[in-house]
Amino acid sequence: MFNEHDIADRLSGRLIGNRVHFLREVDSTNIYASRLAMEGAPDGTVVIADCQTKGKGRMGRVWQSPPERNIYTSIILRPAIEPAVAPQITLVTGVAVAELFSEYCPKDVTLKWPNDVQIKGKKVCGILTEMRTSGEKIDFVIVGIGINIGMKKEEFHEEFRDSSTSLSEEVGTDISRLDFAVKLYASFERWYERFLSEGFIPVKDAWMKYSGIIGKDIKITLRDDIQAGKAVGIDEYGALLILNGKNRTRRIMAGDVSLTGD
Ligand code: BTN
């Protein structure tokens, strides 16, 4: 059990978490954070909840959010960047989470485009970035992060049981959600500030290092459409680059990636 004062005390003086909204239960921290942002909440405000009743995943999916097991958080950002490059923030977040996971499970952490962080090939973290623009400018970005910290294998819905896991299942010990949340905001802040001051290149380099798919044959499924090829990198808009059978590079903007080769 923890509350917003526990978190706020440990984040004082930082950008990320300069305001903390802690909720026992919420529909979705992303929805709550969007509402706060529309009311003027400052850059770096975070929302964190013990439980979500309508946790949102990508592409209209549900994000399993049982009480007091995991981390469900959303960060409000107001970056002075072009809306077109905002997807880079999802990759910044992935790198920040992957680096933190590596402290617990060195060598077993991979990033799966666009937004999954995996341990031993199983999903432990999902990221859902949403944005509001006014005119040509970003009004705010909401970075939603769900991290399975303490969920037991049998608690995952059957359809995810083989493809998802939690940090404590992999590490073999209990992990404090409070300690982890504090480290998460600090890691995010380091990478986010680096991104704002040095640009996307260092993020891209780190992302490539953690990527589990570069150089491999993959397919990307988006509803009825399937594209196949060799993953060769990501571009500055966060799009995945694949080399298809005709040796042509294609940019992939959305979809679910799976490996096809050995
Ligand atoms: C995905 O992999 O599909 C993205 C999952 C994102 C889940 C997090 S949990 C905190 C935040 N609030 C939500 O409703 N979704 C994100």
Residues 63-72 pLDDT 10s: 999 999 999 9
**pTM metric for this prediction:** 0.95
> 70 and 174 in contact (C-beta within 8 Å)?
no
Spans in the chain with pLDDT lower than 70:
262
- Atom 3 in ligand 1: residue holding the nearest Cα: 57
- Atom 7 in ligand 1: residue holding the nearest Cα: 146
pLDDT at 227: 93
Distance from the alpha carbon of residue 58 to the mean position of ligand 1, in angstroms: 7
Whole-angstrom Cα distance, residue 181 to residue 100?
A: 11
> 8 and 48 in contact (C-beta within 8 Å)?
no
Distance from the alpha carbon of residue 248 to the mean position of ligand 1, in angstroms: 34
pLDDT at 2: 79
> 115 and 143 in contact (C-beta within 8 Å)?
no
In angstroms, how far is CA 135 from the centroid of its own chain? 26
Rg of the Cα atoms in the chain: 18
Long-range Cβ contact pairs of 39-45 (< 8 A, separation 24 or more)? 41/76, 42/18, 42/76, 42/78, 43/15, 43/76, 43/77, 43/78, 43/79, 44/14, 44/15, 44/16, 44/17, 44/18, 44/19, 44/75, 44/76, 44/77, 45/18, 45/19, 45/20, 45/21, 45/75, 45/76
Pocket test for ligand 1, best of 23, 48, 62, 63 (most atoms within 8 A of CB): 63
Q: Which residues have CB under 6 Å of ligand 1?
A: 28-30, 52, 55-58, 61, 63, 72-74, 115-116, 126-128, 144-146
Whole-angstrom Cα distance, residue 74 to residue 21?
A: 10
Pocket test for ligand 1, best of 74, 128, 164 (most atoms within 8 A of CB): 128
Taking alpha carbons only, the member of 101, 131, 138 closest to residue 116 is 101
pLDDT at 59: 86
- Atom 15 in ligand 1: residue holding the nearest Cα: 56
Distance from the alpha carbon of residue 99 to the mean position of ligand 1, in angstroms: 19
Domains annotated for the chain, with CATH where assigned, are: 4-210 (3.30.930.10), 217-259 (2.30.30.100)
> 85 and 60 in contact (C-beta within 8 Å)?
no
Distance from the alpha carbon of residue 117 to the mean position of ligand 1, in angstroms: 12
> 107 and 135 in contact (C-beta within 8 Å)?
no
Distance from the alpha carbon of residue 48 to the mean position of ligand 1, in angstroms: 12
pLDDT at 262: 58
**CA dihedral for 67, 6, 170, 106, sign (positive or negative):** positive
Write down the H helix ranges in the chain.
4-11, 29-38, 88-104, 167-171, 177-198, 201-210
- pLDDT tens digits, 153-211: 999 999 999 999 999 999 999 999 999 999 999 999 999 999 999 999 999 999 999 99
Distance from the alpha carbon of residue 61 to the mean position of ligand 1, in angstroms: 9
